[in-house]
Amino acid sequence: MALGSVRECEAILEIENVQDPVAKDLLNQLGAILFKLCQIPVENTKVPQKTRDDAQEDRS
C-alpha cells in the first residue's frame, strides 16, 4: 500500500510537471526505503501474539 502511495506522488509530480530535483530526489529516496522495508521477511519481525487469556480479558 505504501509503495502505491509513492507511485501516486510520482504521478502527481509528473502531471503537475514539477521539475524540482530536490522533491524528485526525496521521493526517490522514500521509495527506496519503503521498498527495502517491504523486503523484510515476516518471520524476522517480532509481533506479539495474543494468548487466549489476553483475548478474554479484552472482552471483559
Tens of pLDDT, residue by residue over 37-60, are: 888 776 666 666 666 666 566 665
Mind listing the pLDDT tens digit for each residue in 23-43?
999 999 999 998 888 887 766
Amino acid (1-letter code) at residue 9: C
Give this prediction's pTM. 0.57
Query: Considering only CA atoms, which of 9, 2, 10 is closest in space to residue 39?
Result: 2
- What percent of the chain shows pLDDT beyond 70? 68
pLDDT at 38: 84
Q: Has residue 1 got a pLDDT over 80?
A: no
